[in-house]
Amino acid sequence: MFRKFISGAVFGSGFALAFCAILFVWFIFALPVAVHQMTQQTLEHFEPSEQVIEPAETSSVENGPHPHSNDHYLGSRSAHSGAITYSTSKRIIMEGPGRIAGRATANGQPVEGLKLRLALTRTAWSDWLITSKDGEYQAHVPYGDYEILGYEIDNTSANALLAGMIDFPQINFHIGTITVSEKSDGPGPPFEFVTAVRKQTTQREFSSTEEIVLRWHSHSDADGYQIEIVEKSDPYRFGQTRLIDFHQSPKLKENRAYVSDLGITLKTDHYYRYGVRALDETGQSISRTPDRHIGYDFKVVN
């Protein structure tokens, strides 16, 4: 009886060890192959906008220079729709035979060597693109439908190529759904840059009893200017009151504005920021001062 028990136990232990060995071999060799095959089958059914791979290369797009520093690019470095999942570990669209193409210009001339990328889905971007001699950029993507939801401009290349410039008019990446096919490219947004209008009156204090004159550098192609002024109780908060906007401003022929002529009242111990836009002969805006929401240009004191 005892011998039968021992024989059964040995047989059972041997069976258990054999089963464990089979499981071990399956986990090591068979499971990875099965997972790989399942992943490949899933990827084959992805839409082009869902085919994403490795994290995109990081680039210097943050911590831009002070808006009055004329040896740097002064415009927007990035923008995106609220629909996009925005993070530093962006994924990039797989390369394909299709093409999304656009152009970058500065004062109407092509910009060569500008580095940028586009958000093509809520979670995936193009790889970094570099503009050609003709200012053209190309994103090679799988055929399909895409919706451009944002962009980034590399800080280093922008500072080297677009010093003293802004994006104007502001880059409009909202161009709807685009189709990339064997027969046609998808249109990318144009990146247009112009020389900025530069302020001269900055970080100043004026007495409430003196004549306040706001000055800026003349723009070579301007036939006139308009001005806006905002009031802030705290220069480092976003809250502000607009005292006069561009549409309310008269057309100024000189590169200065006397606040007393604008029909507004300034308060003591308050901070003010002003903006200027340059107009052509038809009254169309051709440039402006860089946007700035934090800080101030002048303060009124007793």
Of 98-107, 236-245, 293-302, highest mean pLDDT: 98-107
User: Which of residues 3 and 82 earns the better pLDDT score?
Assistant: 82
What CATH homologous superfamily does 52-195 map to?
Immunoglobulins (2.60.40.10)
Q: Of 50-54, 191-195, 260-264, 265-269, which gets the smallest average pLDDT?
A: 50-54
Segment 243-251 long-range contacts (CB within 8 Å, at least 24 positions apart): 246/275, 246/277, 246/285, 250/226, 251/224, 251/225, 251/226, 251/279, 251/283
Q: What angle do CA 37, 42, 44 make, to 5 degrees?
A: 95
pLDDT of residue 53: 37
> Which three-class secondary structure state does DSSP give residue 3?
helix
What does the DSSP 8-state code read for residue 260?
G
Query: For the residues 66-95, what does the mean pLDDT come to?
Result: 74
Q: What angle do CA 183, 185, 187 make, to 5 degrees?
A: 150
Asked whether residue 28 carries a pLDDT value surpassing 90, the answer given is no
Asked whether residue 293 carries a pLDDT value surpassing 60, the answer given is yes
pLDDT band at 87 (very low <50, low <70, confident <90, very high): low
Neighbours of 225 (CB within 10 A): 26
Domains of the chain, residue spans: 52-195, 204-301
Asked whether residue 257 carries a pLDDT value surpassing 80, the answer given is yes
The pLDDT tens digits of the residues spanning 262-287 come to 999 999 999 999 999 999 999 999 99
Q: Report the chain's mean pLDDT, rounded to a whole number.
A: 81
pLDDT of residue 164: 95
Of 204, 202, 199, 201, the residue nearest 218 (C-alpha): 199
Asked whether residue 291 carries a pLDDT value surpassing 60, the answer given is yes
Task: Tell me whether domains 52-195 and 204-301 share a fold.
Answer: yes
pLDDT of residue 173: 80
pLDDT band at 160 (very low <50, low <70, confident <90, very high): very high
User: Which of residues 235 and 114 earns the better pLDDT score?
Assistant: 114
Dihedrals phi, psi of 59, to nearest 5 degrees: -150, 160
Of 123, 125, 191, the residue nearest 157 (C-alpha): 191
State yes or no: cis peptide before 67, omega within 30 of 0: no
The pLDDT tens digits of the residues spanning 119-136 come to 998 888 999 999 999 999
Torsion of CA 266, 269, 275, 281, to 10 degrees: 30
Go through 35-72 and write b for each residue having 16 or more CB atoms within 10 A of its CB, e for each that does not. Answer: eeeeeeeeeeeeebbbbbeeebeebebeebeebbeeeb
Neighbours of 257 (CB within 10 A): 24
Q: How far apart are CA 59 and CA 245, in angstroms?
A: 36
The pLDDT tens digits of the residues spanning 34-46 come to 434 443 333 333 3
CATH number for the segment(s) 204-301 = 2.60.40
